[in-house]
Structure 1
Amino acid sequence: MKVLPRRRRAVLINSVLGAAVLAGAGGAYAAVTGDSGSPARSGARTVAVAKGTVLATVSGSGSLSSPSDAAVNFSTGGRLTEVDVKPGDKVTKGQLLGKVDATAATETLAQSRAALTAAQANVTKAEAGQLSSAPSNGSSSSRGGSAVASAPAATPTVDPAQVAQARAQLTQAQNAVDAAQRAVDGTVLKAPAAGTVASVTAKAGDTVSGTSGGGSGGSVGGNGGSGGNSASSSAGSSSSLSGFVVLTNPSGMQVTANFSEADALKLKPGQAATVTLNAMSGKVLNAQVLSVSSLPVSGGSSSGGGSAGGGSAVQYAATLTITSPTDDLRSGLSAAIQVVVGEASGALSVPTAAVSGTGANRTVTVVKADGTAVRTPVTVGLEGDGTDQIVSGLTGGEQVQLATVSSTGNGGFPGGAFPGGAGAGGARNRGGGNTGVRTGGGGGGRG
């Protein structure tokens, strides 16, 4: 037998192996891209093309707060003579909360009223010319033993400068009375709104400070316009409020949540959402996006879900209004939030894992009744959290093959896909929540 030279033998072997690889690659490529059917993968899962509602959501986390929570303080400081509520009490708007000693304020009011009366009298005299020096009234006199009539009395002279000065003094006196009245009103504290007493910081006999030197009228829901109360509200939890009395009120409850930068760009006012309370896992509340901040959350920590993740991801805060009943809620409760950023009702859809490719080059593997699998181009509409809307390329009821990812597949390729081909994609990281498709047509409730 003739022995081939070593170099010639190596070239021949490499040529044979190269031809085999090319033949295998060509067969795999034809199986992937060809129109003719090929047997479906053994053990591959299939699902039917369904019709329902496809949802795309983003998620975040935050806590409940109530704009109606309020810290209430006396506008006039002094010694507490009575405290009429305790923590846990439910109060109505205008209900008495406490009083401080009004002795000094009442005396000041009396003095101011006396000064006002004097100022009013001065204005009357000035306008009548009675503040000017005037000749004495006429009288008879005897000259040479005969009676001679005196000259007629002079007409009072009105001095405009004196009138202006008297009126200015009257205005000052009236302002002093108004301020003294507010100080008296400020010794009585009433609830600016209905709510529950969260805290009371002093007891009868203690001295409390006043606000704004006697306060001003028109405080939040004050004493019927008397200005006796000073109240403040906060979007944060009631623990961030401080005052003689802190009132909590679940009415108009909101939640402020942080979202990753990618998810925050999808948020818009008016979008529907669900809120799940961490302390009440079975409690799901309906909500609506109220506003989205254009400034990042300080610190940039990642506390919610979403596509960005990571401890250093940039986040943006959004405020949502709770639309479900809130009577049993409390400020400060932590919550997980899912916002619906896309919805397609009555749509044909398949699981995300059944779709391969990107952009306009999307395909699914349709499994025919005879067991053959055909790679079929499709047009994808809304990309949901776990399902994709199929705009064209499929009909309802068709069976599609789900991609599987394994360490060893056909020819050793992961998922049985030829490198660089359409492959077994599907597991796209969309970074949203976990809601997929609701079958049965129509949009139904989100809760």
Structure 2
Amino acid sequence: MKVFPRRRGAVLVNSALGVALLGAAALAYTVLDDGTGTAAAKAPARTATVTKGTVLATVSGTGTLASPTDAAQDFSTGGRLTAVEVAVGDTVTKGQVLATVDTTATQQQVDGAQAALNTATVNLAKARAGVTTTTVQQLPARANGSSGASGSSGAGGSSGRGADGSSASAPQADPSSATAPSATADPSAQTSPAARATVPAAPTTSVPEPQTTTITTTKVDDAAVAQAEQQLATAQTNLANAQAALAGTTLTASVDGTVASVAGRVGDTVGSTGGSSSSSAGAKSSTGASAAPSGFIVLTNPTGMQVTANFSELDSLKLKKGEAATVTLNAQSDSKFNASVLSVSPLPVSGSGGGSAAVQYAATLQLSGDTGKLRTGLSATVSVVTGEADDALSLPTAALSGTGASRTATVVHPDGSTERVTVEVGVEGDSTVQVVSGLAEGDKVELASTSGSNGFPNGSFPGVNGGQGGNGSRGGGAGSGGAGVAGIGGAVGAAGGAGGTGAGRGGGR
């Protein structure tokens, strides 16, 4: 290939420039290594002083605020809305009526169930009373006996045989008795009234009347009683259900709070939940955060506000119930609240752990202080204190070498000499570590060196990260902030070394 004279000159100049650049690089390395490198070696090492204070170990997570008393209020009995008593922003108390639906159908159900219960009550009473049967039976006739004992003596002891008084059984008159009857007594007095009473009367014959008795028998059918009892129980259940359905047509507040939303107006038809008229707001979303409640009427209450935050799997292992924390609102970084850990979920957050996604676990924390102005759904950053050492010796983590509870440090004595010692550590904070033994307050410890290992004095190519070299357009210029190797033929000098004067080398004429 034919080379023109002008191009040949350019090739020669470029070649010369390349050779000169390589020489300049070698010269710069020699200068830095022999001069400034020696000066750097003689510079005092960076040290840290052992001090006394508080060492805190923390872990961080992000989440959203929610109140455990936030609740969605829904009708347990659907129907046509007849009244809506509240509006968004109203403050309500527990038990206050919020809305009502038409009660015509449910009232009819209650009336029918009550009538069925009354009938079942009567039927059970009849079944328990049983069937009563009355029969009349004739008693057997009794045998006729003597009407009395005949020949009984009178009260005076006379046998009543005759008037001559010759009976042996008749009592004899005492001759000496002054009261003995005289032989000349009145013959009419020979028979006393008592003696006349001993004469038996003529017997009379009578026909006895037939005797009867009434027998009453009651028979209870156990099967009929059991059936009646079952019917009564069913009627009672039906009435209770009907009454609950009637009560479900009136929606009342389950908690104190502020009305956050109303999903209908008078005349609209609303459905039923088929259960309680309120639902909790504590459900977790797929991200582990608490989801806001939804319903016909939503009540919110910032009192007792909580935050559910997600933590990495490593940090979650450090969390324990009762640990103190600080919650910072992302929208207001100057708003900080104290909190404590309530619980840590043993299950990973839904959706984490799959593919390359990091595994996370959710923790719920209770905020303290005045949370009246907070809102459900605000995002926040949570910092949990997992370890704390008060009034403890501490040192920057960078001043120690190794891992675990036993590490090493280089102590710099006042005379400049150094000593390698073993240090026992305790709580390892975010940037400092607790010193348990091996060092004393006020000791100076050499910080770990940050030099590289690529063969250059400061771990990088000469001129990188140094000051700007001189302007070599006229042979030499002063470099600022470092020893600069000037470019050849007006190239910008490379920065290098520490605090020297730029040496411009090159032509550029």
TM-score, scaled relative to structure 1: 0.69
Cα offset, 1:206, TM superposition: 0.6
Q: Deviations over 1:274-333 (max 9, x none)?
A: 11110121111112222222322233389xxxxxxx973222222222233322222211
Cα offset, 1:400, TM superposition: 3.1
| Distance change in 2, residues 1:238/1:393 (3 Å) | closer
> Equivalent of 1:262, from 293, 314, 331?
314
Residue equivalent to 1:118: 119
Cα offset, 1:345, TM superposition: 1.6
| Distance change in 2, residues 1:393/1:77 (3 Å) | same
Query: How do residues 160-175 of structure 1 correspond to structure 2 at under 5 angstroms?
Result: 160-175=222-237
Residue equivalent to 1:383: 428
Cα offset, 1:385, TM superposition: 0.7
| Distance change in 2, residues 1:368/1:409 (3 Å) | farther
Residue equivalent to 1:231: 279
Q: Distance in 2 between matches of 1:289 and 1:323?
A: 11
| Distance change in 2, residues 1:409/1:375 (3 Å) | farther
| Distance change in 2, residues 1:348/1:281 (3 Å) | same
Secondary structure of 1:275's partner?
strand
Matched, 1:81 2:82: yes
Q: Deviations over 1:113-158 (max 9, x none)?
A: 12211211122222222xx4867999xxxxxxxxx99995853432
Q: Distance in 2 between matches of 1:80 and 1:115?
A: 29
> Equivalent of 1:337, from 374, 382, 385?
382
Residue equivalent to 2:251: 189
Amino acid at match of 1:396: E
Q: Distance in 2 between matches of 1:57 and 1:239?
A: 27
| Counterpart contact for 1:364–1:376, Cα < 8 Å | yes
| Counterpart contact for 1:66–1:235, Cα < 8 Å | no
Residue equivalent to 1:357: 402
Q: Deviations over 1:410-430 (max 9, x none)?
A: 972659xxxxxxxxxxxxxxx
Amino acid at match of 1:54: V
Matched, 1:296 2:348: yes
Secondary structure of 1:113's partner?
helix
More strand by share: 1
Q: Distance in 2 between matches of 1:360 and 1:118?
A: 83
Residue equivalent to 1:15: none
| Distance change in 2, residues 1:78/1:137 (3 Å) | farther
Q: Distance in 1 between matches of 2:296 and 2:370?
A: 29
Q: Distance in 2 between matches of 1:45 and 1:290?
A: 44
> Equivalent of 2:371, from 306, 322, 326?
326
| Distance change in 2, residues 1:203/1:176 (3 Å) | same
Residue equivalent to 1:275: 327
Q: Distance in 1 between matches of 2:232 and 2:350?
A: 54
Q: Deviations over 1:318-351 (max 9, x none)?
A: 2222233322222211111111111112110111
Secondary structure of 1:252's partner?
coil
Secondary structure of 1:55's partner?
strand
| Distance change in 2, residues 1:161/1:360 (3 Å) | closer
Cα offset, 1:88, TM superposition: 1.6
Q: Distance in 2 between matches of 1:137 and 1:202?
A: 76
* Alignment RMSD (CA, Å): 3.3
Gaps in structure 2 of 5+ consecutive residues: 1-39, 138-209, 461-509
Secondary structure of 1:155's partner?
strand
Gaps in structure 1 of 5+ consecutive residues: 1-38, 139-147, 220-228, 303-309, 416-447
Matched, 1:99 2:144: no
Q: Deviations over 1:360-417 (max 9, x none)?
A: 66333434334554444322222211101112222112333434535699972659xx
Residue equivalent to 2:66: 65
| Distance change in 2, residues 1:378/1:233 (3 Å) | closer
Secondary structure of 1:281's partner?
coil
Amino acid at match of 1:272: A
Higher relative contact order (CA 8 A, sep 6+): 1
Amino acid at match of 2:334: G
Q: Distance in 2 between matches of 1:40 and 1:194?
A: 72
Residue equivalent to 1:368: 413
Cα offset, 1:86, TM superposition: 1.3
Q: Distance in 2 between matches of 1:360 and 1:153?
A: 102
Q: Distance in 1 between matches of 2:429 and 2:249?
A: 60
| Counterpart contact for 2:53–2:392, Cα < 8 Å | yes
| Counterpart contact for 1:75–1:186, Cα < 8 Å | yes
Amino acid at match of 1:268: K
Cα offset, 1:230, TM superposition: 4.2
Cα offset, 1:253, TM superposition: 2.3
| Counterpart contact for 1:40–1:371, Cα < 8 Å | no
Amino acid at match of 1:174: Q
